[in-house]
Amino acid sequence: MSKSLLKSRFLPLVVLAVIVAIVPLVAPSGFYLRVAALVWTFSLAAMGLTILMGYAGQVSLGHAGFLGIGAYSVALGPEYLGLHSLVSVALGAVLAGLIAWIVGRPILKLKGYYLAIATLGFGMIVSLVITGESDITGGPDGMKVARATLFGLKLSGASTWYWVTAGVMLIGAAIALNIGASPTGRALRALHDSEVAASATGIDVASKKLNAFVLAAIYGAVAGGLIGLMNGLVTPDIAGFMNSIELVAMVIIGGLGSVFGAVVGAAFLVVLPQALTALHDYEQMVLGLLIMVFMIFLPAGIVPALRKIWTERAA
């Protein structure tokens, strides 16, 4: 591999595209493609959080709320408004972005613990509204999602969804990598390190943070919409606290600020429960333990740690 490609910001994209192409060749059955499709979708949501948490340094403990907005958009849109599923995905993304723009202004003034708690409160309220409006949303039982069609063809089957989710994920990764290298990305990283210094160099800190929050919300809503369409069923769990925690864990375990890390983290936390089905009773314990161990011993995450080992060896 040439050195320029190794240093290129699009290296993660190339690696991801290669992985996307290889998985179907080695997957023994449709089940594995389904799990992979879930990995791609959660990767997308985690990438949104990477922009917010990794680039801008702002935490959100309620991000599953935006997944919920996206997921219920694809359920409610076709059911009540007769909208096309894909239009519903777009509408859900716009709605999530709009809500993020409105609640983001006051919330993002807070820092550290206070920001974490405010976003947690927001996420809980979204999930409570979804559960509470049971006449419309079906309450805790959830509701069915109409099958999506594309050019008259029904989107169904593991391999179809594999390619759809992989495609959307790669687009999301390209956008996130571009943002990371753009002046906006540099501004976000600057305010991550020091908000005071960033604002002193003329960066509009408040509006940059808000942009990151809105973008993260849109990523989340699209991911939520894809999950709803893929499963054919949505339940309030998608907007729940545990889902928010898992998203944050994906971003941190994979590697804060790394787009490729978001995918690694998502793969880790999506595949792990599948691997642990035999130990079903111990699943929660293992998840809790892993989160603790990673936070204590590898707070930078897997990908940055590997990168460090790699560069030290090369040097």
Residue found under tokens 């169904």:
156
Strands 149-150 and 153-154, by their bridges, are antiparallel
Note whether 202 binds other proteins by CB under 8 A. no
Nearest approach, Cβ of residue 160 and other proteins (Å): 34
Which amino acid would we find at residue 16?
L
- As given in the structure block, the two tokens for residue 295 are 């936070």
Note whether 276 binds other proteins by CB under 8 A. no
CA 219/CA 28 separation, integer angstroms: 30
Note whether 141 binds other proteins by CB under 8 A. no
Nearest approach, Cβ of residue 238 and other proteins (Å): 17
Cβ-based nearer residue to other proteins, 15 or 128: 128
Nearest approach, Cβ of residue 39 and other proteins (Å): 21
Cβ-based nearer residue to other proteins, 281 or 312: 281
Cβ-based nearer residue to other proteins, 20 or 187: 187
Describe the crossing of helices 241-254 and 64-76 by its angle, rounded to 10 degrees: 120
The SS3 of residue 150 is: strand
- What lies within 8 Å, CB to CB, of 31 at 6+ separation is 158
Nearest approach, Cβ of residue 112 and other proteins (Å): 4
Residue found under tokens 């035999």:
278
List Cα–Cα distances, 235 to 2, 48, 139, 210, in angstroms.
47, 22, 8, 29
Cβ-based nearer residue to other proteins, 85 or 137: 137
Binding positions for other proteins, 84-123, rule CB under 8 A: 106-107, 109-114, 116-118, 120-122
Note whether 59 binds other proteins by CB under 8 A. yes
CB atoms within 10 A of CB 40: 29
Nearest approach, Cβ of residue 122 and other proteins (Å): 7
Q: Do residues 304 and 298 lie in contact, with contact meaning Cβ atoms separated by under 8 Å?
A: no
CA 12/CA 8 separation, integer angstroms: 9
Note whether 286 binds other proteins by CB under 8 A. yes
Nearest approach, Cβ of residue 7 and other proteins (Å): 28
Binding residues for other proteins (CB under 8 A): 53, 59, 61, 106-107, 109-114, 116-118, 120-122, 124-125, 128-129, 131-132, 134, 195, 205-206, 241, 245, 248-249, 252, 281-292, 295-297, 299
